[in-house]
């Protein structure tokens, strides 16, 4: 055996946590029945978003003038709004906006947080101090307030909502990545790579980044529900998706004027939003409790 074989294997065989996630997933689902139900509910909403044209009974823009603000019936299972539009169809099509904004804003926030967290964790001195003070400024305000501040500059619209919500989520992701980088850079396989003369950029790409991506992905599952809630809040306030798009927050806001006489106009999208947020929160918390070392307990 050659003397340098041991550190070479230490460098090349970094822990593979995604494989551990796949192996542990079936057992986790058996032990957590509520997690199974939440995952099925989330999958049902995602299925509705993908196959909305085939699942929805009506076109979301179709106006039935003979059934304005009609209560739930066999013709319109969840009733109609003040324009005679089928609420069930609009809720189903609205899942597309929910997942589009939720996933893209979280991806945008995770990408920005990854870049800032890596730079702050690897660099020292004024660069690290300046980046972390920027992160502290983002974390000083709640996500909704930060998104409102950002979108008031850009204006309403789907694209701007994604940018605003993504910017509001940069802070939590950046802090998580920096903490993981500071921990991983002291591991034996990273120090072995440095002693072997491996370039710093290669060390970051091959050894630090793979061990940072998975915890970032775990946190992203938790932040999706927050992104959906913030984007719906923006639409409810008239700062998000613009009419006549079937956005849930916008639908809830449109039904406020009739809440005392026709509560289903706001109640149906509100119930869908609450159900999806609860399901995604349970799924995210279950994944985090299983794979976050800080929350892992010996049983």
Local structure of residue 206 (DSSP, 8 states) = I
Statement: residue 121 has pLDDT above 90: no
**Among the listed residues 264, 254, 223, 226, the one whose alpha carbon sits nearest the alpha carbon of residue 70:** 264
Contact between 93 and 52 (Cβ < 8 Å): yes
State the distance between the two ends of the chain, measured CA to CA, in whole angstroms. Answer: 40
Q: Tell me the per-residue pLDDT of 87-115, one tens digit each, with 9 for 90 and over.
A: 999 999 999 999 999 999 999 999 999 99
Confidence class for position 295, pLDDT limits 50, 70, 90: low
Q: Give the residue carrying structure tokens 């061990």.
A: 211
Q: Is 289 a residue whose pLDDT tops 80?
A: no
Residue with tokens 């995602």: 46
What are the sequence ranges of the domains in the chain? 28-265
pLDDT at 278 over 90: yes
Residue 211: predicted pLDDT: 75
DSSP string, 251-299: HHHHTGGGTTT-THHHHHHHHHHHHHHHHHHHHHHHHHHHH-TTT----
Q: Tell me: the pLDDT tens digits for 217-239?
A: 888 888 999 999 999 999 898 88
The whole-angstrom separation of Cα 173 and Cα 113 is 5
Q: What pLDDT does 299 receive?
A: 44
Per-residue pLDDT tens over the stretch 181-213: 877 766 665 666 555 655 666 666 666 777 788
Q: Which CATH class is domain 28-265?
A: mainly alpha
- Residue 191's CB: how many other CB atoms inside 10 A? 15
DSSP state of 80: B
Two structure tokens written together for 200:
């710093």
Task: Report pLDDT digits (tens) over 3-57.
Answer: 444 444 444 444 455 566 566 666 656 677 788 888 889 999 999 999 999 999 9
Phi (first) and psi of residue 259, to 5 degrees: -65, -30
**Cα separation, 265 vs 275, whole angstroms:** 16
Q: Residue 255: what pLDDT?
A: 87
The confidence score (pLDDT) of residue 15 equals 46
Residue 126 has pLDDT above 90, yes or no: no
Residue, of 297 and 46, whose pLDDT is higher = 46
Q: What is the CA radius of gyration of the chain?
A: 23
For residue 204, the SS3 value is: helix
Q: Is the pLDDT of residue 240 over 70?
A: yes
pLDDT at 296: 53
Whole-structure pTM value: 0.81
HSE-CB for 12 with a 13 A CA cutoff:
6
- Give the pLDDT of residue 201: 65
Measured CA to CA, the distance from residue 116 to residue 171 in angstroms comes to 9
* pLDDT at 82 (0 to 100): 85
pLDDT recorded at residue 22: 61
């Amino acid at each position: 055996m050659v003397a340098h074989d041991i550190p070479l294997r230490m460098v090349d065989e970094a822990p593979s946590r995604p494989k551990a996630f796949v192996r542990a997933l079936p057992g986790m689902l058996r032990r957590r029945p509520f997690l199974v139900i939440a995952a099925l509910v989330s999958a049902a909403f995602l299925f509705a978003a993908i196959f909305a044209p085939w699942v929805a009974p009506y076109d979301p823009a179709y106006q039935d003038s003979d059934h304005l603000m009609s209560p739930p019936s066999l013709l319109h299972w969840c009733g109609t709004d003040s324009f005679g539009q089928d609420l069930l169809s609009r809720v189903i099509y609205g899942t597309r906006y929910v997942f589009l904004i939720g996933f893209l804003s979280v991806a945008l926030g995770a990408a920005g947080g990854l870049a800032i967290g890596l730079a702050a964790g690897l660099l020292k001195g004024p660069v690290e101090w300046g980046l972390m003070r920027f992160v502290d400024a983002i974390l000083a305000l709640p996500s909704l307030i930060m998104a409102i501040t950002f979108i008031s500059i850009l204006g309403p619209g789907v694209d701007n909502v994604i940018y605003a919500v993504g910017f509001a989520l940069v802070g939590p992701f950046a802090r998580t990545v920096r903490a993981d980088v500071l921990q991983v850079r002291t591991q034996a396989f990273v120090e072995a790579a440095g002693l072997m003369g491996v370039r710093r950029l290669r060390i970051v790409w091959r050894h630090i980044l793979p061990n940072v991506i998975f915890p970032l992905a775990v946190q992203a599952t938790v932040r999706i529900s927050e992104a959906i809630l913030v984007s719906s809040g923006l639409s409810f306030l008239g700062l998000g998706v613009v009419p006549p798009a079937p956005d849930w927050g916008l639908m809830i806001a449109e039904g406020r004027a009739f809440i005392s006489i026709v509560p289903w106009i706001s109640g149906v999208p509100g119930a869908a939003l609450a159900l999806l947020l609860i399901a995604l929160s349970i799924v995210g918390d279950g994944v985090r409790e299983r794979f976050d070392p800080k929350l892992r307990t010996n049983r």
